[in-house]
């Protein structure tokens, strides 16, 4: 069993929270994703923060391309961890 991780980058906290909820509905994710605020380099303004949704995929059951398309629905994307 491998320990695959996915990182979804979202423009704001609301989008990150919606994505975390929608992951359960659309992909059947059972483990709670972690939400992490990621301030952009050199920026102190909270308005310029992105939010990361960190997701473990121990069975490698989630398709990275599908996750990227899914995050795009919230103006986000999937990054390689």
Summarised one tens digit per residue, pLDDT across range 59-78 is 889 999 999 999 999 999 99
The DSSP output letter for 62 is S
Q: What angle do CA 22, 9, 31 make, to 5 degrees?
A: 45
Q: What is the pLDDT of residues 7-53, one digit of tens each?
A: 999 999 999 999 999 999 999 998 899 999 987 655 555 556 899 99
In this prediction, residue 47 carries a pLDDT of: 59
- In DSSP terms, 9 is beta-bridged to 52, 77
**pLDDT at residue 41, as a whole number:** 58
SS3 category, 2: coil
CB atoms within 10 A of CB 78: 21
Tokens 């491998």, residue?
Answer: 2
If DSSP codes are grouped into helix, strand and coil, which group holds residue 36?
Answer: strand
Q: Which band of pLDDT confidence, cut at 50, 70 and 90, is reported for residue 55? A: very high
């Amino acid at each position: 069993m491998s320990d695959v991780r996915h990182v979804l980058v979202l423009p704001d906290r609301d989008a990150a929270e919606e994505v975390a909820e929608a992951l359960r509905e659309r992909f059947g994710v059972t483990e709670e994703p972690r939400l992490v605020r990621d301030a952009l380099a050199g920026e102190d303004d909270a308005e310029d923060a992105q939010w990361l949704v960190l997701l473990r995929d121990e069975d490698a059951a989630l398709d990275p391309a599908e996750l990227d398309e899914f995050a795009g629905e919230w103006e986000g994307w999937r990054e390689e961890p």
